Copies of this chain bind each other. A is one copy, B any other.
Amino acid sequence: MQTYLHDKPIKYDGTQLVSHFAYNHFNLLGDAIVSFMGPCDVKIDQLVDLEDVHQNAFIFSENMLHFIVEHFHDDLLLTIAWQRLLIDLIISEMKVDLPGGPWERRGDDIYDDVFKVSVSIATRSPVSCLIHTGINISSNNTPVLTKGLDDYHINPQALATGVMNRYRAEIESMRKARAKVRGVG
């Protein structure tokens, strides 16, 4: 799969979680993980997570590090598993910068104690499965208690590159693991 870090800010308002985002914006055809920075402002009618809709929990951040992943398969449950591995990989990469850092994954979120560090959702388009994960850079003016990369003095671009390399390696390594075992009785 391909990786790409975009160097100009993009405002994430939910319409980026759509099939062929990486192809239409960055000319990457096929499975890809892409990353960019920018504010996050997802209104209720753009929310994909219906639990958030029920709780009227819109999403807002002045600046986030965004990842958009697209796999051209149909398996949403597999995509959710990979989403959670992605979150674990993000935490691992953050701990490279800040060993023993305070983060833990709860479901598909990163928390530092009561502070929410990320948002994430996995869903399906007519031709693919998609993941969005946003890591707060700024923790100002968020609707819930948050912390962001600035609070930890973590460089977003370096984090983005490290995470995308880890994710690509993880997917390849799982495919390899798929191919190296014999069946059992």
Contact = CB atoms under 8 A, between A and B. Distances in A.
Interface of A: 17-20, 23-24, 27, 29-31, 48-51, 54, 72, 74-78, 80-82, 84-85, 88, 92, 100, 104-105, 107-108, 121-128, 130, 170, 173-185
A182 B23 contact: no
Main secondary structure of the interface of A (DSSP, over half): mixed
A94 to B, nearest CB: 13
Given A29-B176, A80-B174, A126 B49 contact: no
Given A50-B181, A107-B177, 15 more contacts: A23-B180, A29-B51, A48-B182, A72-B175, A74-B74, A77-B178, A80-B178, A81-B82, A88-B105, A92-B105, A100-B100, A123-B182, A124-B184, A126-B182, A127-B181
Task: Name, among A50, A92, A183, the residue most crowded by chain B CB atoms within 10 Å (CB to CB).
Answer: A183
Contacts of A17: 184
A92 B104 contact: yes
A120 to B, nearest CB: 10
Contacts of A124: 126-127, 181, 183-184
